[in-house]
Amino acid sequence: MKKWFRELYMNIMLKVVVGKRYNRGKGEDEEEETRSYGEVISEWFHYLGQFLVAIALPFLDWLDLGGYKKIMKRVARELDYIVGKWLEEHRRKSSFDNVKEENDFMDVLIQVVEDDDDVAVTPFQTLIAGGSDTTTVMLTWTLSLLLNNPYALRKAQEELDTQVGQDRQVNESDIKNLCYLHAIVKETLRLYPATFLNATKVCTKDCTIAGYHVPKGTWLIVNTWKLHRDPNIWQDPCEFRPERFLSPNQRGVDVIGMDFEMIPFGARRRRCPGIGLACQTLHMVLATLLHNFVISTPNGEPVDMSAIAGLTNAKATPPEVLISPCLHATIDA
């Protein structure tokens, strides 16, 4: 399932950003490039979140303990090579076809930055990597939590049968009526946000936080994991209880960065710019999966919920899931 989720979101992001599809097959240059790009992205996120001894002891930087710097330099070269080829391809096509029926993000950016390759390449790496890996992580955790909590899984599927029925597929207009599905996504974002530590901020002036004097220039890192599991805010904070977001006290708590007790995407002006796409695809993919398939684990065994160290809060082991189509899975989309 983790592999399938990654391929799905790589498809979405590549189509939006560079007008390509993420293909699993071999034999064509485009398929080889996009396939290897997914592998490079995963490796990049894994090593980007590793702790380096040189961070704490800069004088040991030249030793490159663990070989992480060497690996990251190789990954960076691979990213630059792949995106650079896409950039050349788009410029070549635009020189022959000045009017395209559909412009992707790369077409638009080329028109703005013209011949500055350094400015053009960086946004693509950020958009594709940030949009594909983080959402893949969230879907994997959501599915794992539902498999470990069958009551929530049944309730979500009952809601889908009531609101959507069995004579058609889920569409975008249905999502607003799936209150319990929204609660499931919120509870997953609370317990297992895509990153346990938000992006580093720099204090622009002297201030006082929780009684501590913080001088200007201090690096600030928000511990999202601690905040989302604070017993002073959340009752039974470590339990998976989507119903908490249906209660009057917390029904209005959202993830868009205005309620500081829950900020999986950051807050205010510094929040994640992809929050709209992430929330839309999370709900739609989850609803479609639960509506079309009966899911369970082999022999009813619980899913391992351990995470691995990295920039994103990735699950340590991919969930093994048994899937069988429901009656309405045979309906044409």
How sure is the predictor about 333, in pLDDT bands with cuts at 50, 70 and 90?
Answer: very low
Query: Does residue 121 surpass a pLDDT of 90?
Result: no
Percent of the chain scored above 70 by pLDDT? 83
Query: Does residue 48 surpass a pLDDT of 80?
Result: no
- Best-predicted range by mean pLDDT (146-160, 244-258, 273-287): 146-160
H/E element, 91: helix 68-96
User: How is the chain split into domains, by residue range?
Assistant: 2-330
Q: Say what the pLDDT of residue 119 is.
A: 59
With contact defined as beta carbons under 8 Å apart, do 255 and 186 qualify? yes
CATH number for the region 2-330 comes to: 1.10.630.10
Q: Say what the pLDDT of residue 283 is.
A: 94
Of residues 1 and 102, more confidently modeled = 1
Which among 159, 108, 150, 124 has a CA at the least distance from the CA of 40? 124
Query: Does residue 35 surpass a pLDDT of 60?
Result: no
* Rounded (5°) CA angle 310-316-319: 135
Phi, psi of 168 (to 5 degrees): -160, 170
H/E element, 296: strand 293-296
Query: Does residue 30 surpass a pLDDT of 60?
Result: no
Task: Fill in the amino acid letter for 8.
Answer: L
Kindly report the average pLDDT of the chain as a whole number.
Answer: 82
pLDDT, tens digit, for every residue of 266-321? 887 778 888 888 889 999 999 999 999 999 998 888 999 988 876 678 888 888 89
Tell me the CA distances in angstroms from 177 to 160, 162, 181, 199, one per residue in order: 9, 10, 9, 33
Of residues 328 and 8, more confidently modeled = 8
To the question of pTM greater than 0.75 for the whole model, the response is yes
Q: Say what the pLDDT of residue 129 is.
A: 67
With contact defined as beta carbons under 8 Å apart, do 253 and 259 qualify? yes
Helix, strand, coil percentages for the chain (3-state, nearest 5): 55, 5, 35
CA distance 124 to 79: 10
Query: Does residue 130 surpass a pLDDT of 90?
Result: no
Other CB atoms within a 10 A radius of the CB of residue 202 amount to: 9
Phi, psi of 209 (to 5 degrees): -125, 120
Percent of the chain scored above 90 by pLDDT? 29
